[in-house]
Amino acid sequence: MKSVRLVLNCDWNGRWKRRWKIECRDMYVLWFAGIITLFALGSCSKSEQGEAGWGDKQNTSVAQTSLPVIKEAPLFTGIDQSGKVFSSSVLKGSMWIASFMFSECQGVCPVMNSTLEDIQKLYSIPDLRFVSITVDPQTDTPEVLAEYAKRYKADPSRWWFVRMEKDSVRALSVQGFLLSDPVEPSAHSSRFVLVDRQSRIRGYYDCLDSAKVAELKGDIERIRSEAH
């Protein structure tokens, strides 16, 4: 029995030594693989943090960047819905939104003026004003414009509907506000033009694009926060 135990002990020791060598080699492989895995995970984590940080910086940068000054707003005169002479000089020192429309328009104009009505309600501040210029002066007399203004609950102390000669309105749209040529009434622009207190154009916003309308509201707030 002793000899058997000796043999077994020797055999066990031999196999144990060989197994130890194998197990040690396997342990080194596992340890090295673990280090690589941890490094890879750490790199992924840093990459994700970097992307999130970049996005946050971009958002912050956009929020802090002032609106561009595009050009000086044009000076113009016309006749408003009350039949009185209107001059854009009365808008100096106020923010205002310019737009082009006509009373018989059944397409973009109802959307445009409904949006302005909402903004008028949202910002009940005297220094935010609105000027809607008709591209169909032959049809849109002061009386017609007065009835049209009532449809959108336009505050006459803040919102003017203005008519002028056809050649003048075309030049005002193209040269003054850098918009399309309303050679026909239906060719007028669907964009709002935002003008600041220093009579400078600061942005254009398509009234048919809800994201642009939301941007307009945000930019009104940004201009309000600017120093006078």
Closest by CA position to 145, among listed 192, 83, 190, 201: 83
Work out whether strand 191-195 and strand 200-206 pair parallel, antiparallel, or are unpaired: antiparallel
The pLDDT confidence band at residue 225, using thresholds 50, 70 and 90, is: confident
Q: What is the pLDDT of residues 101-120, one digit of tens each?
A: 999 999 999 999 999 999 99
Better-predicted residue by pLDDT, 44 or 122: 122
The Cα 228–Cα 224 span in angstroms is 9
In DSSP terms, 193 is beta-bridged to 98, 204
The pLDDT, as a whole number, for residue 101 is 98
Q: What is the pLDDT of residue 187?
A: 95
- Amino acid at the residue 45: S
Interior/surface letters 114-143, b for 16+ CB within 10 angstroms, e for the rest: ebbbebbeebeeeebbbbbbbbbbeebbbe
**pLDDT top residue among 89 and 43:** 89
- Taking residues 119-129, report their average pLDDT: 93
* Of the listed ranges 32-36, 140-144, 168-172, 202-206, the one predicted with least confidence: 32-36
pTM value is: 0.71
Q: How confident is the model at residue 65 (pLDDT cuts 50, 70, 90)?
A: low
**pLDDT, average across residues 202-223:** 96
The average pLDDT across 165-175 equals 97
In this prediction, residue 60 has a pLDDT band, given cuts at 50, 70 and 90, of very low
Task: Return the structure tokens found at 218.
Answer: 């945000």
CA dihedral in degrees (147, 150, 155, 159; nearest 10)? Answer: -50
Cα gap 28→31, rounded to integer Å = 5
Length of the chain: 228
Tokens 């080699």 appear where?
A: 25
Instruction: List all residues 6 or more positions away from 109 whose beta carbon is below 8 Å from its beta carbon.
Output: 101, 102, 103
Average pLDDT, rounded, for the chain: 80
- Terminal Cα distance for the chain, rounded: 107
Dist. CA 203–CA 108, nearest whole Å:
19
